[in-house]
Chains A and B, each alone.
Chain A
C-alpha cells in the first residue's frame, strides 16, 4: 500500500483529468511544431478546409499519423510498464529495461531475416511471440528478486536485453541491406513509419489496454498478498496469465510499429504511481495517459533540439530516462 493509504489520506481526484487535458495540448504541439512550425490558423485550415497548401500536406500526411502513432505507442508502453510494476512488485519494471522489448525486437528481426514476416501484422505477430517468451523469463526472475531486493531484477533484465541485443546484432551483421533498414528501426522512431501503421496497431493496442484494465482489478487483490488474494477468490495463475497476455500485446504492437523505445514505461509508471497512489486500476489508466503524453512530448523535443535533423523518440527517452532511473533509486522504495 502507498504511504497515502497507510496514512489514511484519500487518493487525489485530479490527476487523471489533468492528464486527459494534457493530451490535446501535446497533440496540437506535435501537429504544429517541427522543422516547419505551423501557426494555429494553418492547423485549422488543414483540418477543416484542406486545399493542398504546404501546411495542409505537412499536417495531414506527415504529422497526423505520427502524432496518432505516438499516442498509441505511448499508451501501450505506459500501460505495459504499470502492469509489469504491479506483477513484479518492483518500481523499476518496464518492458524496455526488463528485456521484453528486446525479445520482441529480436523476434521481428529474425522473422524479417528468415523471410517469414513481411507485413506489419506479421511483424506484430512475431513481436508478440518474442515478447511473450521474454516476459515469461522476467516473471520467473522476478519471484526471487522480491526476497533479494529490487536491484537484482533490473540487472537480470539488463542481462536478458544485452543477450537478445547481441543476437539481434549478429543477425543483421551478415547482410548490408538488412543492416540499413534495421538501424533506423532499432533506434525507436515515430518518423516514416507509414500512414497505415497507426490503423493496423490500433486494434492490438485497444485489445491490450482492455486486458490491462481487466487485469488491474486482479492486481489490486494481488497487492494484498498471494494467500489473501486466493482466499478472496482470485485465481492467481489466471491473473498472471492475463497480465502476461496484456503486456505481450501492448509491447508487441509498440515494438513492431516503432522499434524498441526504452524508459517510457518506467517514466509513465513512476508518474502514475506518484499521482494516483496505490490503486492499480487508476494506475493503469494514468500510466496509459502519461505514456501517451510523454511519447508525443519526447517526439516533439526530438524535433526541436536537433536543428534541421531530428532526434528520434528512442534517443530522447533514453537520455531523459536514465536520470529518472537514478532518481528513483534514491528513494530506495524499490519493492512496491
Chain B
C-alpha cells in the first residue's frame, strides 16, 4: 500500500515482512488444515478406510485393496488438489501484487481463457464419437490447455505493454477483454458439438480433478519446483512493488522487468495447473486475499497463499466427491469448480462490504 494512503495506526499494524507472527500462524494453520483434509480425503469414498489403514497403505504395510484405493485412485487426486491449489494460489498472489488489485487472477485476466479455448476445441473436435477418450484425453487435452494458457499470457503481455513498460491498469483491462473474447469463442465452440460431448467440455471448464494421474502431475511439480525458489529470491522486490512504482524504483527495483518476469511466472503456474485440473475458478482470486487478511501483510504472502489454496482445494474436492452421496443422490461427483465458485459468493460480498465500510484493500 502507498504509505500516504494509510493512516499512522494502520501503517503500524500492517507489516511488509511475511515472516511475522500472524503470517507464520496462518501458514501453520493452513498447513494443518491441508494435511487433515488430505488424510480425510484419502480415507473417505465408496470404500471407506480408517486413518490407520490409510497410513499402512501409504507406508506399504497394508492390505492390497487399501493400497490400491489409496495409492492408485485417491492418491493422485489428493496430490493434484494440493499441487493445483498451491499453483493457482501462488499465481493469484503474484498477479495481485503486480496489478495492485485484489481481484486480479489468472481466470479474470484472460490467462485461463486461452487454455479454455484450446481445451474445449480439443474436446469438441476429438469427441465426435460420443466421448473424449484415450490419447485425446490423456495427452491432447492437457497439452492444449498448457499451450493455450501460455499463448493468452503472451497475448496479454503484448497488448498490455506500453512503450517498454507493463502498465498494471492496462494489464487488468486488457486481461478482462481477452477473457471476454475467450468466453465468446468458447460459447460458440459449445454450440458446435453433439450434446454428449458438450457435457465433458463444461465439466472441464468448471474444473475437475477426477482424471488426475501420477504421470500427469509431473508438469505441475516441475513448474512449482522452479518457481518457488525464484519467488523466494524476488520476495523483497515484491514487497517493494506494492508500495508503488515510484517508491519501488527509488529503492532500486527494476520495476518493469520485475513485473514482466512475474507475469511470466504467474502465466506458467496457472497454465500448468489448468492443464491438470481444468479451469478452476476463483481459487486464485480468494486464497491469496484470505491469506493476506489473516497474515496482516501488505501483499498476499507466497507461502501462506499456497497453503491456503491447497487446503481450500483439498476440501473443495472432498466436497465435490462426497456431497451428493452424503445427501443421498448416489455416487455422482460434481466438478470441483462448483465448490470454488460457491466460495466466490461470500468472498465477493466481503469485498463489497469492505468497500462500503470505506476501508482500504489494495489500491489499484
- Which of A's residues lie within 8 Å of B, judged by CB? 92, 96-97, 137, 140-141, 143-144, 148-152, 154-160, 162-163, 165-167, 169-170, 172-173, 176, 179-180, 183-184, 186-188, 262-263, 311-312, 314-315, 317-319, 321-323, 325-326, 329
A262 contacts B356, C-beta separation under 8 Å = no
B103-130 contacts to A (CB < 8 Å): 103-104, 107-108
Are A97 and B188 CB-contacts (below 8 A) given A155-B108, A159-B285? no
Q: A173, B199: Cβ atoms under 8 Å?
A: yes
Q: Are B187 and A322 in contact, with the CB atoms below 8 A?
A: no
Q: How far is the CA of A323 from the CA of B173 in the complex (A)?
A: 11
Highest count of chain B CB atoms <10 Å: which of A96, A151, A186, A318: A151
Shortest CB distance B343–A (Å): 10
Cβ-defined contact, B206 with A140, below 8 A? no
A residues in contact with B285, CB < 8 Å: 159
Number of contacting residues on B, CB 8 A?
51
Contact yes or no, B176 A156, CB < 8 A: no
Q: Given the known inter-chain contacts A152-B364, A166-B338, A312-B188, please indicate yes or no for A97 contacting B176, CB distance below 8 A.
A: yes
What are 20 A-B interface contacts by the 8 Å CB criterion? A140-B356, A151-B364, A154-B176, A159-B108, A159-B351, A160-B348, A163-B348, A166-B341, A169-B337, A179-B195, A179-B202, A180-B198, A188-B184, A262-B184, A317-B184, A318-B180, A318-B181, A318-B184, A325-B173, A325-B177
Nearest-neighbour CB distance to chain A for B69, whole angstroms, equals 26
A170 touches B206 (CB 8 A): yes
Kindly identify which residue among A137, A152, A176, A321 contacts B180, using a CB–CB cutoff of 8 Å.
A321
Q: Does B355 contact A (CB under 8 A)?
A: yes
A160 to B344, CA, bound (A): 9
Cβ A167 vs Cβ B364 within 8 A: no
One of A148, A165, A187, A323 near B190 (C-beta < 8 A):
A187
Measured CA separation A160–B107 after assembly (Å): 12
CA distance A330 to B181 in the complex (A): 18
Taking a contact as CB atoms under 8 Å apart, the answer to whether A152 and B101 are in contact is yes
Docked pose: A313 CA to B170 CA in angstroms:
27
Q: Which residues of B267-283 have CB atoms within 8 Å of chain A's CB atoms?
A: 281-282
- Chain B residues with CB under 8 Å of chain A are 101, 103-104, 107-108, 159, 169-170, 172-174, 176-181, 183-185, 187-188, 190-191, 195-196, 198-199, 202-203, 205-206, 281-282, 285, 334-335, 337-338, 340-342, 344-345, 348, 351-352, 355-356, 363-364
Q: Is the pair A162, B107 in contact by a Cβ cutoff of 8 Å?
A: yes
Q: Which residue in chain B gives the minimum CB-CB distance to A324?
A: B177
Which residue on chain B has the smallest CB distance to residue A327? B177
Q: Give the docked Cα–Cα distance between A154 and B101 (Å).
A: 11
Closest chain A residue, CB of each to CB of B364 = A152
Pair B341/A173 contact, Cβ less than 8 Å? no
Find chain A residues with CB under 8 A from B206 CB: 166, 169-170, 173
A167's partner among B180, B196, B341 (CB-CB below 8 A) is B341
Q: Are B355 and A144 in contact (CB under 8 A)?
A: yes
Q: When the two chains form their complex, are residues B181 and A319 in contact, meaning their CB atoms are under 8 A apart? A: yes
Known: A176-B195, A180-B195. A148 touches B364 (CB 8 A): yes
**Contact check: which of A152, A317, A329 meets B170 at CB < 8 Å?**
A329
Q: B356: which A residues are within 8 A, CB to CB? A: 140
B187: which A residues are within 8 A, CB to CB? 183, 186-188, 314-315, 318
A147, closest chain B residue (CB): B363
Query: Is B170 a contact of A173 with CB atoms below 8 Å?
Result: no
Name B355's closest neighbour in chain A (CB-CB).
Answer: A144
Bound-state Cα–Cα, A141 to B101, Å: 14
Contact of B103 among A137, A155, A188 (CB under 8 A): A155
A162 touches B185 (CB 8 A): no
Quick one: which of B206, B282, B342, B348 has the most chain A CB within 10 A?
B348
User: In the bound complex, how far is the Cα of B189 from the Cα of A315, in angstroms?
Assistant: 10
Q: Is the CB of A152 within 8 A of B103?
A: yes
Q: How far is A202 from B262 in the complex, measured between Cα atoms in Å?
A: 51
Extra pairs beyond A155-B364, A162-B108, A319-B184 (18, CB < 8 Å): A149-B169, A151-B173, A154-B173, A155-B103, A158-B180, A163-B341, A166-B341, A169-B202, A173-B202, A176-B195, A186-B187, A187-B188, A314-B184, A318-B184, A319-B185, A322-B180, A325-B176, A326-B173
